[in-house]
């Protein structure tokens, strides 16, 4: 439970810190009932719930424990349920009961809302006869996606988009208007403009934000390669040029990175960058890759996106997005600039902002990379990830840092803290979910054909 709590803290921190995550928060309903009998005494545990989901989360924690002994014990427990798109809830309760003046009752309630609410209720009662009663109960609730709103007619003249909030809670029935500086949610003509983010969840506001990876933000992977973990700790992981490493490996998701780089004469290791990422889930594989270009030009698109082996075309006009077909998990790839920048969403699993960028002459000099950039721009990816469904045992260079209670092994206070583990995370290819500690298994062999 300690781990679970830390995980929740990290998850909540990540939610608070990553500015754009407030989009999918949820309503969770969970009920927990626990009953336990042992001995001849009676103990009751009542749970009080504090629901603090974004908008509306409901949780009930009831623990009934009957403890051996001669008396009756009453215990009160408190449970908290937080419901969020990624919502996690946690509740602990302590209560005192009387059993011949000697009774204790404890009630614990835990709730997780991740589409589902799970809860446990424990109740203990101690009587004269030293009897203990434990009751465990599990309850499942439902959590629906929140931040619901309907678009309304834009403000005439300025074109500022407006939304009517439908999420239950503080913002319900409020009309939010996009600021004049960013009148549209998805700026079409010039995507360099900030987009309007509507938050009907907790903040009841519409604000302007750039839709680019933040290389200093949680869950980022940029530069040569520098990570900021889910715990907020920055580190470098060198890998090796031409090799592939598991960035995230979990039961339902794997993300591998292909490293490019160079080793200047006299050095003992490679300078490396991430040239491609393959995102594997269910039976699908989505690959984002920077093309090898000799001379960089901002106006030329140097990003290729492949879904299950097929190159996909992301329109530049209109909604400027590509969506997967079918009733499965929805995948959306949306341009967030005219070229070289996209936002990827895989429903229920992750969002990532990705940008293709070159090594510039100045960087080459400053860092003394000694790259032959006269004929290779070393186009590579800058990425920021947001995860919605990681398990407690998630693996991978970055994934592991999202574990509950994770303590970073890297040295703090040095300019380039290093993360080792190349041997544990290396995969045979960009598309292979296999590494020494990897957890993911494909649902079918479909993508293996690639
Ligand atoms: C639990 O929370 C819900 C929603 O806030 C509330 O309606 C309900 O009365 C609460 N139950 C208890 C036992 O406090
Ligand atoms: C719920 O959390 C918000 C901040 O996240 C806080 O302002 C509010 O007071 C909390 N409500 C309850 C009932 O704890
Ligand atoms: C929503 O707001 C409008 C205008 O303020 C009001 O007429 C309407 O009754 C409200 N609806 C609900 C369900 O509160």
Q: Output the average pLDDT for the chain.
A: 73
Mean pLDDT value across residues 233-260: 97
Residues in Cβ contact with 268 at an 8 Å cutoff, skipping those fewer than 6 apart: none
Is the CB of 60 inside a 6 Å radius of any atom of ligand 1?
Answer: yes
Is the CB of 341 inside a 6 Å radius of any atom of ligand 1?
Answer: no
Q: Given the CA of residue 52, which atom of ligand 2 is nearest to it?
A: 1
Residue 11's H or E segment, with its range, is helix 2-17
Distance 201 CA to ligand 3 centre (A): 18
Nearest listed ligand to the Cα of residue 174: 3
Residues in Cβ contact with 49 at an 8 Å cutoff, skipping those fewer than 6 apart: 58, 59, 60, 61, 78, 79, 80, 81, 91, 109
Residues in Cβ contact with 383 at an 8 Å cutoff, skipping those fewer than 6 apart: 213, 220, 221, 222, 274, 277, 352, 353, 354, 355
Residue 386 CA to residue 344 CA, distance in Å, equals 10
288 pLDDT above the threshold of 60: yes
Q: How far is CA 100 from the centre of its chain?
A: 50
Mean pLDDT value across residues 257-264: 94
Is the CB of 51 inside a 6 Å radius of any atom of ligand 1?
Answer: yes
Is the CB of 116 inside a 6 Å radius of any atom of ligand 2?
Answer: no
Nearest listed ligand to the Cα of residue 57: 1
The tokens for 315 are 């329109």
Nearest listed ligand to the Cα of residue 202: 2
Distance 51 CA to ligand 2 centre (A): 9
Distance 169 CA to ligand 3 centre (A): 14
Residue 43 CA to residue 315 CA, distance in Å, equals 64
- For 99-140, the pLDDT digits (tens) are 333 333 444 444 333 322 333 334 333 332 222 223 332 222
Is the CB of 49 inside a 6 Å radius of any atom of ligand 1?
Answer: yes
Nearest listed ligand to the Cα of residue 25: 2
CA atoms within 13 A on the CB side of 30: 44
Nearest listed ligand to the Cα of residue 141: 1
* Confidence class for position 97, pLDDT limits 50, 70, 90: very low
Ligand 2, atom 6: closest residue by C-alpha:
52
Ligand 2, atom 11: closest residue by C-alpha:
52
List b or e across 390-414, with b for residues whose CB sees 16 or more CB atoms inside 10 angstroms: bbeebbbbbbbbbbbebebebeeee
Residue 255's H or E segment, with its range, is strand 254-262
Task: Please give the residue that has the higher pLDDT: either 89 or 281.
Answer: 281
Q: How far is CA 312 from the centre of its chain?
A: 25
Distance 52 CA to ligand 2 centre (A): 6
Mean pLDDT value across residues 47-53: 41
Which of 60, 111, 169 for a ligand 1 pocket mutation test, highest count of atoms within 8 Å of Cβ?
60
pLDDT of residue 224: 93
Distance 117 CA to ligand 1 centre (A): 15
Ligand 2, atom 2: closest residue by C-alpha:
52
391 pLDDT above the threshold of 60: yes
Is the CB of 432 inside a 6 Å radius of any atom of ligand 1?
Answer: no
Q: How far is CA 383 from the centre of its chain?
A: 13
Q: Given the CA of residue 47, which atom of ligand 1 is nearest to it?
A: 13
Task: Please give the residue that has the higher pLDDT: either 100 or 405.
Answer: 405
Is the CB of 76 inside a 6 Å radius of any atom of ligand 1?
Answer: no
């Amino acid at each position: 439970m300690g781990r679970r709590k830390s995980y929740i803290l990290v998850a909540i921190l990540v939610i608070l810190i990553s500015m754009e995550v407030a989009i999918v928060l949820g309503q969770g309903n969970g009920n927990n009932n626990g009953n336990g009998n042992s001995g001849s005494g009676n103990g009751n545990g009542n749970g009080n719930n504090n629901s603090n989901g974004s908008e509306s989360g409901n949780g009930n924690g009831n623990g009934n424990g009957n403890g051996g002994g001669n008396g009756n014990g009453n215990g009160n427990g408190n449970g908290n349920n937080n419901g969020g798109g990624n919502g996690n809830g946690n509740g602990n309760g302590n209560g005192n009961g009387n059993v011949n003046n000697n009774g204790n009752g404890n009630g614990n309630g835990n709730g997780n809302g991740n589409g589902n609410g799970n809860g446990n209720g424990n109740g203990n009662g101690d009587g004269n006869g030293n009897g203990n009663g434990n009751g465990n109960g599990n309850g499942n609730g439902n959590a629906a996606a929140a931040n619901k709103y309907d678009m309304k007619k834009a403000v005439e003249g300025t074109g500022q988009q407006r939304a009517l909030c439908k999420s239950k809670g503080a913002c319900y029935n409020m009309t939010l208007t996009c600021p004049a500086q960013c009148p549209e949610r998805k700026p079409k003509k010039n995507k360099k403009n900030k987009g309007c983010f509507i938050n009907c969840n907790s903040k009841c506001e519409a604000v302007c934000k750039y839709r680019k990876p933040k290389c200093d933000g949680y869950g980022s992977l940029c530069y040569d390669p520098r990570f900021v973990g889910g715990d907020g700790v920055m580190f470098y992981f060198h890998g090796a040029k031409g090799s592939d490493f598991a960035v995230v490996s979990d039961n339902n998701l794997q993300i591998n990175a292909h490293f490019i780089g160079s080793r200047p004469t006299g050095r003992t290791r490679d300078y490396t960058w991430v040239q491609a990422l393959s995102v594997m889930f269910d039976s699908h594989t989505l690959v984002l890759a920077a093309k090898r270009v000799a001379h960089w030009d901002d106006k030329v698109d140097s990003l290729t996106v492949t879904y299950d082996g097929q190159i996909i075309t992301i329109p530049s006009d209109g909604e400027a997005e590509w969506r997967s077909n079918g009733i499965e998990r929805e995948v959306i790839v949306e341009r967030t600039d005219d070229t070289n920048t996209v936002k990827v969403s895989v429903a229920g699993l992750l969002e990532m902002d990705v940008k293709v960028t070159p090594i510039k002459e100045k960087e080459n000099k400053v860092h003394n990379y000694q790259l032959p950039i006269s004929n290779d721009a070393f186009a590579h990816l800058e990425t920021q990830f947001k995860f919605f469904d990681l398990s407690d045992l998630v693996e991978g260079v970055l994934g592991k840092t999202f574990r509950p209670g994770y303590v970073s092994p890297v040295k703090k206070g040095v300019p380039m803290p290093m993360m080792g583990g190349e041997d544990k995370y290396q995969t045979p290819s960009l598309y292979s979910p296999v590494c020494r500690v990897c957890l993911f298994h494909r649902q079918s062999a479909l993508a293996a054909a690639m």
